[in-house]
Amino acid sequence: MTSYRLGVLEGDGIGPEIVPAAVLVLDAALAAAGAPPVDWVELPLGASAIDTHGDAVPASTLAALAELDAWLLGPHDSAAYPEPHRGKLNPSGTIRKHFDLFANIRPAKSLEGAYAIVPRTDLVIVRENTQGFYADRSTYRGSGEFMPSPDVAIAMGIITRPAVERIAVEAFELASRRRGKLTIVHKANVLKLTTGMFRDVCREVAARYPDVAVDDFHIDAMTVHLVRRANDFDVIVTENMFGDILSDLAGEIAGSLGIAPSINASHERAMAQAAHGSAPDIAGQDVANPIAMILSSAMLLDWLGTRRQDPALTQAAALIDAAVATTVGAGTRTRDMGGTTGTRAFAEAVAAGVKKAR
């Protein structure tokens, strides 16, 4: 059986609590699925790396990541870094850009007992991760945002056919494995050339997937549709900024950002990264909700298992998903979900649930 080397980058704030919680659950799930143990490789990143290596993302960390199968990334608190580090591309952005992790896959699935605004929500937002209207991703070097004078600020929004085509393929492949429905989100009535191209290229890719039903909505209308009827949607594909906004909204609709997972992936590599931030106000208190990080890690196993044709990994991912749902449904919840269970204790409860489910 194949063994894997996975990176561990704890990051800042609650990262050193939720990332080890995810590792604990993954180890239990892999053992339950009969997979060999993972070789965990801990690497410096974030504020601690600035202290020890003079950089939030040391060159040695990037070099080590290139030799690993995939990795877990904790949240970062780059806004609190000292200058000049605060003004640089943040750690997750640096890694995404370095490895061209073009697909940000963000599910939103309600859990029984998680107080979903729209019960039975089960959708996935597929977000193009390298272009669009975000300044840190719209140029090869430097920023896509600039000021020609003190009173004028300009941002470039970049959309290219190759980038849209590859994210559309990812979205249609996912929809074909799920419920066979895909929604394209754009603003082609105003941004006719940029998001109009996004819509049109996605429609061209749709011709390759005749079994997938396709519709499309403007971004403003889509926010309303999500609030009113999120459970009608399956896979949603959109550009970078729209995807960021919609995925945060969808996470809250499904229960909270504390349960919102994601992975950033290319064709060759993937990184598990919870959708929420570093929450420095509760760091070190053992009250953070580790669900998003645990489910992100399960997504990583599923991604890796699918690409390596390793059923033990996909089974381990399924065990984690089921154990999280069972644990929350039984009333074991962290403070943000109305419970009293600590971060570590919640992870231990999920790990125990994984062992029972095998």
> Which residues does the annotation mark as catalytic?
134, 187, 220, 244, 248
Which residue bears the tokens 């339950």?
A: 32
Q: Are 22 and 272 in contact (CB under 8 A)?
A: yes
Pure H helices in the chain = 15-32, 47-53, 59-65, 91-99, 161-177, 194-206, 219-229, 240-254, 291-307, 311-329, 343-357
The residue among 175, 169, 321 whose CA lies nearest residue 234 is 175
Q: Are 45 and 57 in contact (CB under 8 A)?
A: yes
The enclosing H or E element of 109 equals: strand 103-109
The enclosing H or E element of 7 equals: strand 5-9
| Environment class of 84 (CB within 10 Å of its CB; exposed 0-12, middle 13-18, buried 19+) | exposed
**CA pair distance 178, 174, nearest whole angstrom:** 6
Residue 47 structure tokens: 């504020």
39 alpha carbon, distance to own chain's centre? 22
123 alpha carbon, distance to own chain's centre? 13
**How is residue 132 annotated by DSSP?**
B
Q: Are 331 and 40 in contact (CB under 8 A)?
A: no
